[in-house]
Copies of this chain bind each other. A is one copy, B any other.
């Protein structure tokens, strides 16, 4: 079964909204062995939507449409759908009741604008919306399936998770003749072309599998794709390939699939029973935010000091005022004392610090924008290291955090920081 995802909304065309919905749907469909052949985005225009649905119906088995179902005048997807099928709207009592219950629960009056959302296409089934007012539709026609959902991400996601995926699986699973597995290894700290060369002869490495390189500023993802007779064979072969890849570039691989580096680090800290504290200056709390993005983070995360001012560094982290006067707040020496200081007051196994110039303003002749010092202390050793990033403030925060997290990973796994 193959699919075409159609996202609707002027806000997507003019770049006001990033199309995260299509990614979510693409990922969910791929997981259940539906091949996403195409994604397209069209504006809030009835005719454009009809044209796009028509083209998709000619080519694929499943069309998933999101957006344009809201209560306001610029939402025209429902009208495009009934026009394409030459059908009409009827009132759904179930949807009307959902809408009324929802408003009662929120303590708000139902408006006629909202009640109109209970009008649904005569053909097809309603997908109920437990997180908003616009229902979705599932329409079987001409041997193909059209699924229509609202564009508000959490409403769409709930419909996908609670209804659409289950119903698609019922159709897809009995007819599966082969199983395509996609498996991604996440690397950081090695450039794409170096990785490519270290992997050597790809045919030898991969056999029938395909390998894709996905580079970003934070690392390169390696995606292996393999089609086999069934899931078990695919899993076994992928696992062999992963072992061979790890043999060549293992220390740069921090995780799999859509794992986040902070999740990997959280797991490592938890499993080793280690605790951590952070003294952040230039990253302003971003590292601590990542370290606490995981449920149960209080097991390893003790506290952080976002010591933006000099006073905070001196009073809370016991950094030597003379040292700041001599070397400046952004220095190897201060980074080391900050890490040492936060570890001491928090009584954690690891103490980490960052101080730097995130930009775009604030660079000096001796310390340019993007200069960052990272301090790292445990009970035995207290070190600090200098890094040079770019001139984009947000990106600098992210790259600094990525570097710190990868240092924690390497530390726990016994990999040298410079490997």
Interface residues of A (CB under 8 A from B): 9-20, 22-28, 30, 36-44, 48, 70-74, 108, 111, 113-114, 133, 152-154, 182, 184, 191-194, 196-197, 202, 210-217, 221, 223, 225, 258, 278, 280, 283-289, 291-298, 301-309, 311-312, 315-316, 345-346, 358-362, 392-395, 397
Contacts and interface: CB of A to CB of B under 8 A. Distances in A.
A41 B39 contact: yes
Given A286-B289, A289-B285, A12 B39 contact: yes
B41 A12 contact: no
Contacts of A302: 308-309, 311-312
Contacts of A154: 217, 392, 395
Given A13-B38, A14-B30, A286-B289, 14 more contacts: A11-B223, A16-B27, A17-B214, A22-B41, A38-B42, A74-B210, A108-B194, A280-B285, A284-B292, A285-B285, A285-B292, A292-B308, A295-B360, A309-B346
Nearest to A38: B42
13 contacts: A11-B221, A13-B36, A37-B48, A71-B196, A72-B192, A284-B297, A285-B286, A286-B289, A288-B306, A289-B397, A296-B361, A303-B309, A303-B311
Q: How many copies does the complex hold?
A: 2
Query: At the interface, is chain A mostly helix, strand, loop or mixed?
Result: mixed
Given A295-B361, A304-B285, A23 B18 contact: yes
B284 A288 contact: yes
A18 B22 CA distance: 8
Contact of A22 (B15, B111, B153, B346): B15
A225 B43 CA distance: 14
A72 to B, nearest CB: 5
A184 B42 CA distance: 20
Nearest to A286: B289
B16 A19 contact: no
A353 B17 CA distance: 31
Contacts of A286: 285, 289
Nearest to A36: B13
Contacts of A316: 303, 316
A10, A154, A210, A358: which has the most chain B beta carbons within 10 Å?
A: A10
Contacts of A214: 9, 11, 16-17
Contacts of A12: 22-23, 26, 39
A20 to B, nearest CB: 5
Contact of A71 (B14, B23, B193, B395): B193
Contacts of A280: 285
A346 B311 CA distance: 8
